Amino acid sequence: MFIVEVGTAFATLDFVATIKSQTTSDIVFAVSVIIWLFFTLVFANFAEVIAERRGRAQAASLRSARTALIARLIVKGSIEEVPAESLKVGDRCIVTAGETIPCDGEVVEGIASVDESAITGESAPVIREAGGDRSSVTGGTKVLSDEIIVSVTQEPGKSFLEKMILLVEGANRQKTPNEVALNILLSGLSFVLLLSVATLQPFAIFSKSPQSIVVLVALLVCLIPTTIGALLSAIGIAGIDRLVKQNVLATSGRAVEAAGDCNTLLLDKTGTITYGNRQAVQFFPSSDSSEKELAEAALIASVADQTPEGRSIVDLSKKIMGDNGAVETSQSDDWITIGFSATTRMSGVDIGDDSYRKGAGDSVAKWIVENGGTVDALSSKAITEIASSGGTPLLVAKNNRSLGVIYLKDVVKEGIASRFATMRSLGIRTVMVTGDNPVTAAAIAKEAGVDDFIAQATPEDKLSYIKKEQRSGSLVAMTGDGTNDAPALAQADVGVAMNSGTQAAKEAGNMVDLDSNPTKLLEIVEIGKQLLITRGSLTTFSIANDIAKYFAIIPAMFQRVFPVLKPLNIMHLTNAHTAILAAVIFNALIIVALIPLALRGVKFRATSSASILRRNLSIYGIGGVILPFLGIKAIDIVLTLIGVK
Amino acid sequence: MINSTIIPLLIMAALIMAVAPFLGRYIYRVFADDQIKKDTKLNKLERNFLSRIGIDPLAEQSWKAYALSLIAFSTVSILFIYLLQRIQYLEPGNTNHLHAVPPALAINTAVSFVTNTNWQNYAGESTMTAITQTLGLAVQNFVSAAVGLSVAIALTRGITRSRRNTIGNFWVDLMRSTTRILLPLATIFSIVLLSQGVIDNLVISRCITTIAGGKQCIPGGLVASQEAIKELGTNGGGYFNANSMHPFENPNFLTNFLEVYSILLIPFSLPFTFGNFAKKRREGITIFAVMLILWASSSLLLLHFETSSNQLNLAKTANLTAVTSTKVLPEGQDLRISTPSCAIFSASTTATSTGAVNCSLDSLEPAASGVALFNMMLGEVSPGGVGSGLYGILVFAILAVFVSGLMVGRTPEYLGKKIQGAEMKLITIYLLISPAAIMIFSAFAVILKTARTAVGNPGAQGLSEIIYSFVSTGNNNGSALAGLSSNTDFYNITQAINMVIGRFGLIIPVLALAGALVSKQAIPQGPGTFATDKPLFASILIATIVLIVGITYFPVLALGPIVAHLSLGH
């Protein structure tokens, strides 16, 4: 762009200096070229401005949450009201129901439900409590119930959100490594072309056809990769913008780029691959009972069980029993509920003389034996089989009789297997991380179609797995939320912290998902890829454009002295002036035409790299060769019609 | 007409395809780590020799040390040849009483031979003594090619090694290139040439009285031995001024064919060496295919322009030198060497940084010499000089990967090595430096009056002559549109600088690139990576090479060969 600015200035000066010796048509031509050179500059800035404005709009909505907050600061036991901006790290504030949290911080006392919709868009409140992994709160969110004391971890203005807002705005955007490399190539190319045009004048003089500066500058501006030069930063800003639309904030453009490069994804089982809770999927009745009887007993034993597992047993039982189920549950007045405890490892209900129990196989078996009964062989077999297939068996008993087994299973999310298959075709390995034992983990891994899994994973396991992958050259992306995830998040090339996670996790990662949805890692990877594809496609397009521009300008430049060059004028452009002007106009307009594409990004399809390449190459490579021929010819026709000579 | 003339071209391509994989494999074994470390007799002999001259033969070098050794070796070589020429009047056997070579010409020649350019601003037989030719120039024919080969191997190591700091040992590479590849091949080829009548003697001059009674002296010399390496090492500096047009250098159709073959053989084998190093044959085959396609198309184009339009051209310009009753013979060609042979020879030499000629390039059709010019502008990658062809095309391959690799949605990588800012900086320098020097010098030449007067033809052809001389020296080719009388101080010095830039200005970034890549971790390749061993990549690579060179040189080509060609009424 600098070359264009200098070139335009130079052309203008030269034109003014030689204006007296020129004919009217030459003057009209020179003025038009100079005007269009100015337009080129304007359009180039335009692209960046639009991208930044879109970012700013996003940022403004994020920031609106943060205006004019009052913090109730605890000073030596008493409470003072101060503006949120004056808070310092380590200060403690008290926030009660209905108030807005003034800063990023950690809950040090109390528990509260918090509305984080201002930053996540999710209206369901979340629980924040002192200690543990759910202690982090974000400034700008609203406390709905109870009262908490928050210790300030970030000075306002430097908070995580604040930093990301700046990034979204493009204010402190740094060039990513790939952008830097591309810029080096583009400036090198511009330099060669500058030399090529500058040395053309001596050759032209030797051939007795000296050129005016305006024409030379026009040629230069058309040849140097102005298109991609103008759109490069817009593409980068738009990439971050697309992430924000997904409710993901990145600390740097570098991270977005790295996301496109990742070849190993570490995914938490819970929430990403499975729905997160084990669910009852099947009943295995014992030798002396029926499925109906078992279902009824399971229902009774679970009516009072409010855990997700319990609810899923109720649902499944009702499905099997049909209408009868509703009747049973209504008679719960004289029922005595036996809650689950870590020592008994079972729960149930006593109704009069009848005792219903469900729980871990060995515990319930023991209870049956104590009551003078035995566990039948069919139930024992079911327990072993379910356990070895990675599920959780629950034995159901009525008094001293074993009624059968409930099969609890981690249910893999619908469609996740096909998504992993897509990832595989893109060359990305998926690795499931879970606290389950290896047997359970292997079963789920197989069902979900991941490439590898880490069972009974500790934070150290994750860290060493990431290091191992990186040593073999892979780039690793992962999600995490706990403080103990922080080292792994920091080590990973792309670490996506959940917004619900701790402050430490957020600081360690280089992206934060405001929705706290671990599945989003897959989208992040696609956005990264799309960013790179857009950049590559437009670069190819920009360079390929040069061919047509040469065929427009070179014959025009030398036609007067060498009429034999006419065959090179393959577009049959009307005359030298229309030809050069058409090329300059095309060069300026193509920038505007490509702005929407740069902002939207080239369409990304999750197929093999070969087919992506073939597609983009034919559109942007071959298209980049052909389109300017058509475009320049069209502009030439228009110019001829309006009578440019 | 094309049908019959195309046959030698096809045979040539077939013979190359038959032998190159094996020679490539052999070259790989010469430089493979385990082979260098083995305790064979020959290895021990070599190590012994290197240790005696103060080099640790088992220690590998960083790219900087490698580059420093290379520069030191080349600087000493240049100084040595310069001195040899300046004091040659003292040398024994100088019975022709040749004088010391003037300083500017001596510098030009010394640089020319050390940089594997072999541009000759002198007539060999009437300027250089037998000792200067044999001890100075012929030796450089070997070692300058060996230097190029070493650099290609160093870059190959840089790309294919992972997480290392060293790219080999220059002295070991230089020695093995010379003794195990160039010397044996040159020996075989010399004997073949001898059998066909190329001379190889110590007779300085044989003088006879011609039929008309005049006295003519025909110099002899160690021609066959120098001729072999002149071609094999893609050098091209002829013993005689007439180069491969001289019957003592190139007596018949068979030697002509074999000379072309030996020019192409090593450059076409190196992609296979690369594939062996990478442990991926297909990568090597892809590079080979690109080279072959570029070479074959330029040969066909040249052939087409020469055979289809010569008659017409000559009838028009009445530039006939020999007319028989049935046949019009074009200017600047020998009866022994047919027009098609001349076309293939010219295409092959300009595509390989070999400056040899078997017909006068200045008398070629303008379009044909334009093809020759474009061949050189490609930066000698089709297949290019010994070594320089491979490292040149690898630089282009990395560039192609960088631009189009992004389109698969990953930051670009070549053979698992990420291409980032540091690499692009070096590649940009590589692509920039030679065209920059060429264009600046050419521009000066057309501005300066002293330089302009050297032009032999007016107008567009004259412009072509000037540009050709700088493109040729800048790309270390050495062939000339001889219409330009360039033995002047201006051309001697500017060409010398141009040759240094065109050789070492490229070798240093290439070695630095090898150094940058060698320390990188190779990323495992999978379905998501950009495949560089497929026909699709071959086409991308060809497009990249032609496009980058095209947009750099199109204006110049338009004003030179294209105007000249169209002016002839085509």
What residues in B contact A614, CB-CB < 8 Å? 536
The whole-angstrom separation of Cα A150 and Cα A572 is: 75
Q: Which of B162, B528, B562 is nearest residue A609 as measured by Cβ atoms?
A: B528
Closest Cα in chain B to A559:
B563
* 8-state DSSP, B536: H
Can the peptide bond before residue B8 be classed as cis, meaning omega within 30 degrees of 0?
no
**Max CA pair span of chain B:** 79
**Is A372's pLDDT higher than 60?**
yes
Q: pLDDT at position B150, please?
A: 97
CB A621 within 8 A of CB B404: yes
d(CA A193, nearest CA chain B) in Å:
6
Are the CB atoms for A536 and A616 separated by under 8 Å?
yes
CB spacing of A613 vs B463 below 8 angstroms: no
Compute the distance between CA of residue A175 and CA of residue A163 in angstroms, rounded to an integer.
16
State the Cα–Cα distance between residues B412 and B431, nearest whole angstrom: 18
Interchain contact, A207 vs B556, CB within 8 Å: no
Q: How many CB atoms lie within 10 A of CB A92?
A: 17
Are A192 and B526 within 8 A, CB to CB? no
Question: To probe the interface with B, which of A187, A195, A614 has the most B CB atoms within 10 Å?
Answer: A195
Residue A47 vs residues A40, A50, A289, A592, A598: alpha-carbon distances, Å: 11, 5, 73, 7, 9
The pLDDT assigned to A164 comes to 62
User: What pTM was computed for the model?
Assistant: 0.84
Please answer yes or no on whether B551 and A543 come within 8 Å at the CB atom: yes
Alpha helices in A323-434 (DSSP H): 324-330, 361-370, 377-388, 416-425
Q: How far is CA A501 from the centre of its chain?
A: 17
Per the CB < 8 Å rule, is B403 touching A193? no
Residue among A577, A529, A533, A535 nearest A553 (CA): A577
8 Å CB contact of B550 and A616:
no
CA–CA separation, B131 vs B226, rounded Å? 12
Higher pLDDT, B507 or A296: B507
CA A613/CA A609 separation, integer angstroms: 6
CB pairs under 8 A between A and B: 212
* A203: chain B residues, CB-CB within 8 Å: 442-443, 446, 463, 467, 555-556, 559
**Whole-angstrom Cα distance, residue A51 to residue A233?**
9
Distance CA A300, CA A304 (A): 8
Give the Å distances, CA to CA, from B215 to A243, B206, B218, B246, B402: 88, 10, 10, 19, 64
Of A189, A195, A427, the CB nearest to B526: A427
Residue B558 DSSP code: I
Half-sphere exposure of A372 (CA within 13 A, CB side): 1
- Percent of chain A surpassing pLDDT 70: 91
Average pLDDT rounded to a whole number, residues A254-274: 83
For residue B534, the chain A residue with the least C-alpha distance is A610
Nearest CB among B467, B522, B552 relative to A473 is that of B522
Nearest chain A Cα to B452, which residue? A206
Structure tokens at B548: 């980058």
Please identify which of the residues A91, A104, A241, A268 carries the catalytic annotation.
A268
User: In this complex, do B447 and A202 lie within 8 Å of one another by their Cβ atoms?
Assistant: yes
Rg (CA), chain B: 23
Partners of residue A555 in chain B, C-beta under 8 Å? 558
SS3 B213: coil
**CA angle (A261, A265, A266) in 5-degree steps:** 150
Contact A565 B527 (CB under 8 A): no
* Contact check, Cβ <8 Å, A188/B431: yes
Model confidence pLDDT, tens digit, residues A124-176: 677 888 877 778 888 778 888 788 888 888 776 666 666 666 665 655 567 78
Take residue B405 and report the two structure tokens written for it.
Answer: 């690799």
pLDDT of residue A117: 66
More confident residue, A338 or A641: A641
Is residue A283 within 8 Å of A315, Cβ to Cβ? no
Q: Strand pairing partners for B210?
A: none
Task: Report the pLDDT averaged over residues A277-303.
Answer: 84
| A543 interaction partners in chain B (CB closer than 8 Å) | 403, 547, 551
The ranges of chain B with pLDDT < 70 are: 1-3, 93-96, 124-125, 204, 308-332, 334-336, 482-483, 569-570
Q: Is A485 a catalytic residue?
A: no
Average confidence score pLDDT of chain A: 82
Reported ipTM: the value is: 0.89
The pLDDT, as a whole number, for residue A65 is 52
More confident residue, A325 or B413: B413
| Pairwise CA distance, residues B402 & B400, whole Å | 5
Residues of B in contact with A196 (CB under 8 A): 435, 439, 551-553, 555-556
- Asked if B563 lies within 8 A of A425 by C-beta distance, the reply is no
Q: How far apart are CA B246 and CA A610, in angstroms?
A: 52
pLDDT for residue A330 is more than 70: no
**Nearest CA of chain A to the CA of B66: how many Å?**
26
Q: Which residues contact A215 (CB under 8 A, 6 or more apart)?
A: A33, A553, A557, A580
Give the one of B403, B459, B527 whose C-beta lies nearest to A425's C-beta.
B527
Of these ranges, A317-326, A559-568, A630-639, the one predicted with the greatest mean pLDDT is A630-639
Given an 8 Å threshold on Cβ–Cβ distance, is A614 in contact with B562?
A: no
Nearest residue in A to B401, CA atom = A536
CB distance B440–A199 less than 8 Å? yes
Interface probe for A, chosen from B395, B410, B449 (most Cβ of A below 10 Å), is: B410
Higher pLDDT, A10 or A583: A583
Give me the torsion for CA of B485, B487, B490, B494, rounded to 10°.
100
C-alpha angle with apex A35: A33 to A41, nearest 5 degrees? 105
- Interface touch A197/B555, C-beta < 8 Å: yes
Q: Which two tokens stand for residue B271?
A: 């992609």
Of A475, A539, A554, which has the smallest distance from its Cβ to B403's Cβ? A539
Segments in B161-280 forming alpha helices (H) = 170-176, 183-195, 223-232, 253-278
B interface test, pick of A219, A223, A562 with most B CB neighbours within 10 Å: A562
The CA distance from B437 to B499, in Å, is: 9
Q: How far is CA B30 from the centre of its chain?
A: 22
Radius of gyration of chain A (CA): 34
pLDDT of residue B317: 46
pLDDT at site A212: 86
Average pLDDT over residues A613-631: 92
Name the nearest CA neighbour of B380 among B369, B396, B358. Answer: B396
Instruction: Name every chain A residue with its beta carbon within 8 A of the beta carbon of B412.
Output: 178
Nearest to A612 among B162, B407, B463 (CB): B407
Once rounded to an integer, what is the mean pLDDT over residues A260-275?
82
DSSP letters spanning B488-517: SHHHHHHHHHHHHHHHHHHHHHHHHHHHHH
**B439, B534, B559: residue with CB nearest A195:** B439
